[in-house]
């Protein structure tokens, strides 16, 4: 990079550094939410066959999902979890949003994890 006597090269370097810092901060705030959502999706996908084979009640499945969401620090309440559980199948659908405060903007991420398993 070539600098002039007016310091324009330093201005570009500072601006580039500022952009990198902002991108890093946004990633620091956003990436953990996506990882936690993936873990919740993985949990319900792994547990659905278990819930089906044990003929778990809808309330039991829902309380298990809410406990996992609380463990992952996801803002999910019981109204956002729909469970259909009977002897033939288990269907779990979750619909929730996570607001992320980026200091100058509040980003709202929307997630809809879903899993279904049917008896053979």
pLDDT digits (tens, 9 = 90+) for 1-25: 555 556 667 888 899 999 999 999 9
pLDDT of 81? 96
**Considering only CA atoms, which of 91, 43, 33 is closest in space to residue 67?**
43
Is residue 91 within 8 A of residue 84, CB to CB? The reply is: yes
User: Angle at Cα 57 formed by Cα 55 and Cα 58, nearest 5°?
Assistant: 130
pLDDT at position 47 over 70? yes
Q: Are 41 and 113 in contact (CB under 8 A)?
A: yes
- pLDDT tens for residues 49-100? 999 888 889 999 999 999 999 999 999 999 999 999 888 899 999 999 999 9
Q: Is the pTM of this model over 0.75?
A: yes
Assess contact for 60 and 86: CB atoms under 8 A: no
Amino acid 76: pLDDT: 96
């Amino acid at each position: 990079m070539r600098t002039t006597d007016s310091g324009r090269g330093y201005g570009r370097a500072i601006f580039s550094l500022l952009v990198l810092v902002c991108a890093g901060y946004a990633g620091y705030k956003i990436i953990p939410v996506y990882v936690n959502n993936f873990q919740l999706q993985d949990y319900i996908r792994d547990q659905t066959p278990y819930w089906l084979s044990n003929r778990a009640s809808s309330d039991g499945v829902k309380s298990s999902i809410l406990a996992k969401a609380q463990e992952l620090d996801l803002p999910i309440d019981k109204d956002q979890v729909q469970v259909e559980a009977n002897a033939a199948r288990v269907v779990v659908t979750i619909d929730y949003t996570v607001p992320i405060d980026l200091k100058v903007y509040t980003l709202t991420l929307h997630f809809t994890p879903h899993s279904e398993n049917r008896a053979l």
